[in-house]
Chain A
Amino acid sequence: MDPLAFEKLLSDALSEPQNADVRDRILQMIASSASLNRIRDDWLRLDLALRAALEAGPCGIDWAVLKQRIVAAIHSL
């Protein structure tokens, strides 16, 4: 398979992990190709790195205070 098309399929699978059809297609492809397997590993590492970088963020927020702040802003209109 064209590596570019395989990468597009990987991207779709990472965005829709619940899509079993796409996942199964990928598993079939990497079973018979070491190069596609390497590409898969690269994309998984990138995905994990992005999640680690971007998901580390909105912790420590007091949601009740945020809600009060928003409601107060609307109340002051």
Chain B
Amino acid sequence: MVSTQPVTPFANESDADLVRQTRDGRNAAFDLLVDRYNRRAYSAAYRLLGDAQDALDVTQDAFVRAYRRLDSLKEVERFPSWLMRIVTNHALNFRRSRGAGQRRASLDGIGADGASLREELPSASGDCPVVRVSAAELEVKARAAVAALPRPQRLALVLSSIEGMPQREVAEIMKCSVEAVKWHVFQARKRLRLALADYF
């Protein structure tokens, strides 16, 4: 249903206009919504799943679901948070159905994730190999600890504190208040501090 025509004519349209035009049958408009939001969608999926290939699958499926359900979107100006709700719900359900910790070995050539820790910790000093080893260990432990968080805490932490989404948008996605988002993030941080206590 999506046209392969250039999407340039829609470049200056708002998200809401693109949603309306897609509904009116100008399907190339949806291409631009994909172009605008595929990075944010993939990034959130990756951080919730921790696996590049799974995140690609979830991102693709989420956009397909969004396209199919576009008529159910009542407030068209809320397309971004509506899409992210589909992405995050699908990511969390995907993770649950596959089982925590299970990972695919192969990637399909689109790209690979950088496995190395890019920043030294504030307690790290110089080029000490021991510090680098413990930082790499911490990366693994931190990922595992985040993956083990209860679903609302993981979602609030990843979207709000890592993705940098406004808490009002996170609250919309989670269907809760902004104060509840803050509370989930706080609880997540406390749990992670305990789980990673050996590294501080």
Contacts and interface: CB of A to CB of B under 8 A. Distances in A.
Contacts of A53: 117, 138-139, 142-143, 146
Interface residues of A, number: 39
Interface in B175-200: 182, 185-186, 189-190, 192-193, 196, 199-200
Given A12-B182, A52-B121, A70-B63, A58 B110 contact: no
Prevailing SS type, chain B contact patch: helix
A55 interface: yes
Interface in A32-60: 42-60
Contacts, number: 149
A20 interface: no
Interface string B14-38: 0000000000000000110011001
B195 to A, nearest CB: 10
Contacts of B85: none
Contact of A45 (B35, B56, B121, B160): B121
A16 B112 CA distance: 31
A57 B113 contact: yes
B135 to A, nearest CB: 8
Contacts of B116: 56
4 closest Cβ contacts across the A-B interface?
A: A53-B142, A61-B111, A60-B111, A11-B186
A1 interface: no
B185 A11 contact: yes
Prevailing SS type, chain A contact patch: helix
A66 B158 contact: no
A59 B113 contact: yes
A45 B112 CA distance: 27
A46 B196 contact: yes
B6 interface: no
B117 A11 contact: no
B68 interface: yes
5 contacts: A15-B185, A45-B200, A46-B196, A50-B161, A63-B39
